[in-house]
Amino acid sequence: MYVICVLPQFAEGLSTLGLLDMMQIHHSTFKTAFCSSDKPLKATDLMMLFQAELTFLDGVFEITLDQLLVFASGADRIPALGFSPQPTLNFIHETGRKYPEANTCLVKLKLPIHNTYEVFTKYMCEGIVQAPTFGLVLELHHILRSVKAVLHTICMS
């Protein structure tokens, strides 16, 4: 009995902004928002539901999927029209290459192969965390070398 009294108030509230009329005109669209679905759950549904994180076992590094995208593509978001060419994933089979590699122009991610998941995770996290400063470190190295050369020239004069 109480539900019957509340429904007109609910309808009146929806009508104040014209939402009730839109719901009646586009009922199939609103049905998905207000009613549960009987479709079976898929892996993609869970992927959309949870935010995945890659973590180093002791919690020192935490890598987000955003960081992985920046590492692989240089972009912090997937472009509206997607990437062209299609991003690719390869594996590094050469011995001694421990860190992940990326070609941001081609959006090509190369993953190292390790004997254990723990070692793989360690080098993946280190490589991705350190990648943004890689160019900076090289640039600073060149600047310091130039300063050293200038100082050497001054001191020798």
Whether the CA torsion 108, 114, 117, 119 is positive or negative: it is: negative
Show which residues are catalytic. Answer: 105
């993609």: which residue's tokens? 44
Nearest 5 degrees, angle CA 38-CA 43-CA 45?
Answer: 55
CA dihedral 124→84→105→114, nearest 10 degrees, is: 20
Q: State the angle between helix axes of 117-156 and 65-73 in degrees (0 to 180), rounded to the nearest 10.
A: 50
Nearest 5 degrees, angle CA 80-CA 86-CA 92?
Answer: 130
